Chain A
Amino acid sequence: MKRLALFAVILAGVLFAATASEFPRLGAVDSAPSRHVSPAYIQGSQPQTHTPNFVTSVLADYRGFDTMFETTVVFLAGMSCFFILRALRRRGITEVYYYRHKPTGVVLAMLAPRRVSPHSSCFERIDADWTPQDMVVETMCLFMVPFIQVFALYVIAHGHYSPGGGFQGGVLLAASFILVGLSRDLRTVESLLTEKTAILAAAAGVCIYAGTGLLALCFGGNFLDYGAYASFFGVAVPAARSMGILIVEIGVALTVMATLVTIYKLVSSRGTVEEGL
């Protein structure tokens, strides 16, 4: 069976390699896409969509539906992870909670959770596989977080003009939360962005995207036709389209950020969202 699989893979590879020579060279001017498809977007996108970046105009304007359902797929992926991995608290299973006395280093194991303030100088909640943390690593990681978040906001807001947009910005925002989780612990992330808030934010992002489209429908345009806002808000068509794409990107970023943080929490804690990586 393994030999057969290897043979199939090699055969497919040889076929791919044989057909790859038929492809037009990268950037060849006389290939079909360079003659028909690319000029249509390069010359058409500025007068049609008033967006300076072709990639953004294709992503959020020509292929607006596609991006909307991609966002929905991201949201559904997060929800599937939630329903598959989330371990709801079951009766009869004894869970042990560890509390470390900071001045002496003595660890108490409790069978019931106790409420300990995160700013308490006496006790702190620790994970079962707790090891002393390096102060340098923790401080430097937390120091990087605001810079990552500002860059993420720039990527979201400047997505029209430069590479970037909602997906990448949302991933960067999620990465900043995951960095907090890696350098501190999962409970810090949970206190910054609770599971409930994250799932609500993910749903809100999809609703923002779909709502932008529906609002355009209400103002007499097509679904996701951002130019329809121009007459209602009394601004020029390019400004209305720019705002529409920005709102849509914010929705995408919200969904991606919240979903990725949720998946990270669930995967790293075996679905309990108690003790993480």
Chain B
Amino acid sequence: MILEIKIAMLVLVIVCAVASITIKDLLGAAVVFGTYSFMMCLLWVSMAAVDVAFTEAAIGAGISTVLMIAAVFRTTRRTKD
């Protein structure tokens, strides 16, 4: 895979990881965490681990985002800390 795209993905992974634990809005944090999972999925593809990438895309970016949004919907949208 092209090096520039790889570097962009790595930067995005770190940015999303930091953002998802610092954002106060939990719904936004859930969405950013989905982005993080998708970027991880692309990184797995770039390392030729297609099985892991598939699982990451389906579970990390798909189902767990839905579950987190459901949890935010049923609890509170703002964090206390």
Residues of A within 8 A of B (CB): 26, 55, 155, 163-165, 167-168, 171-172, 174-175, 178, 182, 260, 263-264, 267-270, 276-277
B:29-81 near A, CB below 8 Å: 47, 50-51, 53-55, 58-59, 62-63, 66-67, 69-71, 73-74
B51 near A165: Cβ-Cβ < 8 Å: yes
B67 near A267: Cβ-Cβ < 8 Å: yes
List 3 A-B pairs, minimum CB-CB distance, nearest first. A268-B70, A163-B50, A171-B58
Q: How far is the CA of A164 from the CA of B58 in the complex (A)?
A: 11
Q: How far is the CA of A25 from the CA of B70 in the complex (A)?
A: 41
B66 near A171: Cβ-Cβ < 8 Å: no
Q: Across the interface, name the chain A residue whose C-beta is closest to B46.
A: A26
Task: Give the tally of cross-chain contacts (CB within 8 A).
Answer: 48
B70 near A26: Cβ-Cβ < 8 Å: no
Chain B residues closer than 8 Å to A171, beta-carbon distance: 55, 58-59, 62-63
Q: How far is the CA of A43 from the CA of B67 in the complex (A)?
A: 41
20 contacts between A and B (CB under 8 A): A155-B54, A163-B50, A163-B54, A164-B54, A168-B54, A168-B55, A171-B59, A171-B63, A175-B63, A178-B63, A178-B66, A260-B63, A264-B67, A264-B70, A267-B67, A267-B71, A268-B70, A268-B74, A269-B74, A277-B70
Q: How far is the CA of A110 from the CA of B58 in the complex (A)?
A: 40
Chain B residues closer than 8 Å to A175, beta-carbon distance: 58, 62-63
Chain A residues closer than 8 Å to B74, beta-carbon distance: 267-270
Q: How far is the CA of A19 from the CA of B17 in the complex (A)?
A: 21
Partner of B67, one of A164, A263, A276: A263
Chain A residues closer than 8 Å to B55, beta-carbon distance: 167-168, 171
Give the interface centre of B47, B50, B66 by most chain A CB atoms within 10 Å.
Answer: B66
A164 near B51: Cβ-Cβ < 8 Å: yes
Give the interface centre of A26, A175, A260, A267 by most chain B CB atoms within 10 Å.
Answer: A267
The B contact surface, by secondary structure, is helix
Q: How far is the CA of A175 from the CA of B58 in the complex (A)?
A: 8
Chain B residues closer than 8 Å to A270, beta-carbon distance: 74
Q: How far is the CA of A167 from the CA of B55 in the complex (A)?
A: 7
Q: Across the interface, name the chain B residue whose C-beta is closest to A58.
A: B51
B71 near A168: Cβ-Cβ < 8 Å: no
A55 near B62: Cβ-Cβ < 8 Å: no
CB distance from A181 to the nearest CB of B (A): 9
Q: How far is the CA of A277 from the CA of B30 in the complex (A)?
A: 15
The verdict on A182 contacting B62 (CB below 8 Å), with A26-B47, A163-B50 known, is no
Chain A residues closer than 8 Å to B66, beta-carbon distance: 178, 182, 264
Give the interface centre of B58, B62, B73 by most chain A CB atoms within 10 Å.
Answer: B58
Chain B residues closer than 8 Å to A172, beta-carbon distance: 58
Q: How far is the CA of A84 from the CA of B51 in the complex (A)?
A: 32
Q: How far is the CA of A174 from the CA of B55 in the complex (A)?
A: 13
B62 near A163: Cβ-Cβ < 8 Å: no
Chain A residues closer than 8 Å to B59, beta-carbon distance: 167, 171
Given contacts A167-B59, A168-B54, 18 further A-B contacts (CB under 8 A): A155-B54, A164-B51, A167-B55, A171-B55, A171-B58, A171-B62, A174-B63, A175-B58, A175-B63, A178-B63, A182-B66, A264-B66, A264-B70, A267-B70, A267-B71, A276-B70, A277-B69, A277-B70
Q: Across the interface, name the chain B residue whose C-beta is closest to A171.
A: B58
